[in-house]
Structure 1
Amino acid sequence: MAGFTLAHVSDPHLPPLPTPRIWELAGKRALGYLNWTRNRHKYHRREVLDALVGDLHAQRPDHVVVTGDLVNLALEAEFAPALSWLKDVGEPDRVTAIPGNHDTYVRATRRRFAEAWADYLHGDAQCDVQFPSLRRRGPVVLISLSSALPTPPLMATGTLGRVQLSALEHLLQRLSAEQAFRVLLVHHPLRSRSRIKRLTDAGELIALLQRHGVELILHGHDHIHSTIWIDGPSGKIPAIGVPSASALAHGHAPAAAYNLYQIERDTTAWRCEQIVRGIDEKLQVRELNRARLV
C-alpha cells in the first residue's frame, strides 16, 4: 500500500484582528479584545503563519487537518478572511477543519463557522455540517468532532455531549470491520491541568475509545507540543497536540509548529511516523523531531 502523508495544523488565531464595531464589544468579547490589544497581538503574527504554511506546501502532504481556533473573537468580519486562509492552505477535498472555542466565542455568532467554512467541515456523505463527520482519504478515515461552544468570560472549556458521543460510538462500531487508519479530530485535549480549559466529558470519550479504539487522536487548544497515550482495545493510542500556527515563542509557549504523519500499512500492521516542523527566530521552518508512533 502506498504511503499517505497527513499534516496537522492548529490554532492559527488568524491575525490581524479586524476592528470591531462598538456594539460587538460586549461581555466576553470586551475582555478578549482587551487581551488581544494588550498581549496576544504581540505574538500571534501573520508572517509566522505564512512562513509555516509555505513550508507545509513545500512538504506536499496528501491532506491537511486544522483543529480549530481559526479566529479570535468570532467577529462577523473574521469569518471571510479565515475562509480565504483555508483556501490558501488547500481546496476542501485536501483540507479538513473543525471548530475551536474561539470560533464559537459568543452565542451571537456560534454557528457562523458552519456557514462560512462548510465545505471544509462536512463529511463526505453530508450536505450540511454536523458532528461527528467522516471523510475518507486514501487509507485514512478522518473522524471530526466538535467540542466548541460559547462559554462565560474567563472560561475556555469544551463539551461533546451525549448525542455526539453516542453517534461516535455507532460510527466506530461500523468502522471496526474495515482496514482503515482512523484519525480522530477534536479541538480540546483529552487531559488538561486547567479546570477552565478542559474537555468536560473527556472521561466519557476516553472510555469510549478504550472500547472501540482509533489509531491516532489530533487536537489543539493548549498551544504546546504534547503527546499522551490512551489505552485502546488493541494497545496504546497517541493523542497529540501542536502549538499555535501563528505564534512566536513567549512565556512557556513554544513557537509555531506543525506535524506530519507518514502512514503506511505492511501485510500485517499500520506504521506511522511523526515529523515535527517548527519555526525559528529567523522565521525559518526546520525539522525539530522525528518519532515512530506505531
Structure 2
Amino acid sequence: MFRLAHISDIHLGPLPDVTYRDLASKRVVGYVNWQRNRRRHMRDAVIDTIVTDMQASGADHLAVTGDLVNLALDGEIEMAKHWLETLGSPHDVSVVPGNHDAYVPGAFDKACRSWAAWMTGDGVNTPVDRNAFPYLRVRGDIALIGVTTARATAPFMANGFFLEGQAERLRGVLDATAKRGLFRVIMIHHPPVRGAVSQPKRLFGIARFNKVVHRHGAELILHGHSHEPTLFFIGGRGRRIPVVGVAAAGQSPGGRRPAAQYNLLDIDGEEGNWRIKLTRRGLTGPAIAPSDLETLELGANAEAMV
C-alpha cells in the first residue's frame, strides 16, 4: 500500500513588509483582501497543527497543490521555500504552483527557481520553467504528475490556464506511465470540473484537460483552489476518475469556509484493480485537534459527491 497525503492553499503568513512600489500592481487588491479577510482566517498555528498531524500519519509522499503564498512577494516566496524544507526531503514532497504563486508577472518564474527541488521530474537537470510541466516522479507503483495552471491575471480574477502545449506533453506522460502499469496521479491547482468554482476563478481549458484524460487515462486527480473538500468524477477510458479537492490548510475554524483539512489516500492493488481509500482529517471546532472527518472508498462505481 502507498499512502499519499494532500494539502493545498496554505497562504503562508504573516505578510512581509510591503512597499508602495509592491502595491503598484494587482497586489493592492490582494493586500486589501489580506487585511480584511485572510489575515483573520488564515492562521500559522492552524497550518502547524495540520502539518504535525499529517507528518504523524505515516504518509509515503506529500502532494501540495498550490497557493503557498498570498501576493507572491519576494519575501513570501523565500519564506515558502523554508517552509517546504520543514515538510521533508524534496524527494518525498511534490508541489504544483497556484494562481497566488503567480500573482503578478514574473512571480511564476521566481517561484519556479526557488521551489525547483520540489517541482522537478525524476532525472531532469534543466531549470524549472513553464515548459517543464507536466513533470513526472515515480515512487513505487505511483506516477506523480505535476501540471501547472498558474498564470498572472487581471485584478479580481483568479483564473487558471491549461493550454495545448502542456496538453500535448501530458498525453505523452500518461501514455508512457500507462505502459508501465503505474497508478497515475495528476496534481493540478484549479479544479478541472465545470461549476466547481465561480467564473472569475475557473480554469480555461477544462474541455482540453478532460479530453486528454478521457483518451489517455489517469487514476486520480488532486486539486486545490476552491478551499472546499469536494469529490467529483470525470470520464476516462470507460471508467470514472476521482477528482479530489481539499479545504485550505490554513483556514481557522469559524469562517465561512470549512476549517483546515488534509487528505490521506491509501492506494493499493495493481493495474486494472486499483483500490483507493480517501480519509479527510481536519479541524472540527475551536479546539486545534485534527480528527477523521470522513472515509470514502473510491471505486469505479462510486457515486459522485460534492
Q: TM-score under structure 2 normalisation? A: 0.93
CA contact (8 A) 2:94 2:118 kept: yes
What is the identity, as a one-letter code, of the residue corresponding to 2:229? H
Q: Aligned residue for 2:108?
A: 110
How many pairs does the alignment contain?
292
CA contact (8 A) 2:183 2:271 kept: no
Which residue of the partner structure matches residue 288 of structure 1? 293
Which amino acid is 1:89 matched to?
Answer: L
Amino acid at match of 2:145: I
CA distance in 2, matches of 1:75, 1:102: 10
Contact preservation (8 Å) 1:213, 1:234: no
Within the candidate set 214, 232, 237, 1:233 is matched to 237
Q: Within 1, Cα distance between the matches of 2:113 and 2:179? A: 34
Q: 2:54 aligns with which of 56, 76, 81?
A: 56
Give the Å deviation of 1:176. 2.2
User: How far apart, in 2, do the equivalents of 1:252 and 1:189 lie?
Assistant: 20
Q: How far 1:96 sits from its partner (Å)?
A: 0.3
The equivalent residue for 1:148 is: 150
Residue number in structure 1 paired with 2:257? 253
Counterpart Cα distance in 2 of 1:252 and 1:210 = 35
Change (3 A) 1:99 1:36: same
- Residue correspondence of structure 1 range 77-92 to structure 2 within 5 A: 77-92=75-90
User: d(CA) in 1 for partners of 2:121 and 2:15?
Assistant: 30
Structure 1 SS opposite 2:266: strand
Runs of 4+ displaced beyond 6 Å: none
CA contact (8 A) 2:232 2:243 kept: yes
* Distance in 1 of aligned mates of 2:86 and 2:160: 28
1:123-202 correspondence runs (5 A): 123-127=121-125, 128-129=127-128, 130-191=132-193, 192-202=196-206
Task: Give structure 2 stretches of 5+ with no counterpart.
Answer: 300-306
Q: Distance in 1 between matches of 2:271 and 2:103?
A: 46
> In structure 1, what is the Cα distance between the partners aligned to 2:294 and 2:134?
31
| CA distance in 2: counterparts of 1:186 and 1:203, whole angstroms | 15
How far apart are the structure 1 equivalents of 2:270 and 2:216?
Answer: 22
Give the root-mean-square deviation of aligned CA atoms. Answer: 1.2
1:265 aligned residue: 269
Q: CA deviation at 1:11?
A: 0.6
Q: How far did residue 89 of structure 1 move?
A: 1.0
Identity level (%): 40
How far has the Cα of 1:26 moved from its partner?
1.3
Moved more, 185-194 or 129-138: 185-194
- Shift of the 54–193 alpha-carbon distance from structure 1 to 2, 3 Å rule, reads closer
Deviations 1:99-143 (A, max 9, x none): 000000000323111010100001012122210100001111001
C-alpha displacement of 1:219: 0.2
Unaligned runs of 5+ in 1: none
Structure 1 residue 251: deviation in Å?
Answer: 4.8
Please give the alpha-carbon distance, in whole angstroms, between the structure 2 residues aligned to 1:290 and 1:175. 28
CA offset digits 1:26-82 (Å, max 9, x no partner): 121011101101111000000000000000011120000100000000001101110
Aligned-pair distance for 1:266? 5.3
Describe the superposition over 1:266-293 as per-residue Cα deviations: whole angstroms up to 9, x where unpaired: 5861111001100132110101110111
SS in 2 for 1:222: coil
Aligned partner of 2:12 in structure 1 is 14
Deviates more, 1:228-237 or 1:148-157: 228-237
SS at 2:113's partner residue? Answer: helix
Give, in angstroms, the shift of residue 173 of structure 1.
1.8
Question: Alpha carbons of 1:266 and 1:27: their partners in 2 closer, same or farther (altered >3 Å)?
Answer: closer
